[in-house]
Amino acid sequence: MSLSFFGDEESSRRTLGIRERQILYDSAQKKCEDCSRDLEFSDVQVGHKTAYSRGGNSTLRNSVSLCYGCNKKQGTDSWDVFQRKQGKTAVIDRMRNMLTELTLQKLKDLAQKHGVKLKGRFHEGGLLNDDYYQAPSKARYVKALVGVVTEKDIKSGLSAMPTPGKTKRRRTTSYWSIF
């Protein structure tokens, strides 16, 4: 059984619960994620990135906070198709490139700021190897953050990055020190 907030047992419902709606609303900064209009909590429409009728689950990960008009406009299009139809992919591609430029630590900070939670993956080692826990990769952070963060967020992340000259050199064990 999954203890995850995004657990499978949650996914067969048609819509989100009140607590999840609140999280969605907060992480969307109380706006429609399509037209960026400010929304009252009671006006939030939970849109699906992949439509329910096309197998999309009612999970936070598959949800977007939308105003009534945008939710209607999206119809059964997936979020990507909907954005593409409106000519928004150039923006998304740029965001993705900007995010890719960030360090893993910056991506983690952004994720935390926006309440995006990524789970690592647990690998069972079996008889011969130890179990290990693999932290979420940079690519997974980028994927989760595209469409959540704003360009301004990313830029503030970039400007706070250490300048190359000041970057701490990673300590390596000298070859000679083992003798």
Contacts to Zn ion by CB under 5 A: 32, 34-35, 67, 70
Q: Which is nearer to Zn ion, 82 or 141 (CB)?
A: 82
Residue ranges of E strands in 2-137:
45-48, 63-66, 121-123, 132-134
Q: Which is nearer to Zn ion, 20 or 33 (CB)?
A: 33
The residues, ordered by sequence, that sit 6+ positions from 148 with a Cβ below 8 Å of its Cβ are 27, 28, 114, 116
DSSP 47: E
Q: Which is nearer to Zn ion, 68 or 132 (CB)?
A: 68
Query: How many Å apart are CA 65 and CA 50, to the nearest integer?
Result: 13
H or E element at residue 79? helix 79-85
The residues, ordered by sequence, that sit 6+ positions from 161 with a Cβ below 8 Å of its Cβ are 102, 103, 106
Query: How many Å apart are CA 173 and CA 144, to the nearest integer?
Result: 36
CB of 67 to Zn ion, least distance (A): 3
Side-chain half-sphere CA neighbours of 79 within 13 A: 19
CB of 74 to Zn ion, least distance (A): 9
CB 18 within 8 Å of CB 42: no
CB of 148 to Zn ion, least distance (A): 16
CB of 3 to Zn ion, least distance (A): 34
Q: Which is nearer to Zn ion, 44 or 107 (CB)?
A: 44
Q: Which is nearer to Zn ion, 66 or 98 (CB)?
A: 66
CB of 7 to Zn ion, least distance (A): 29
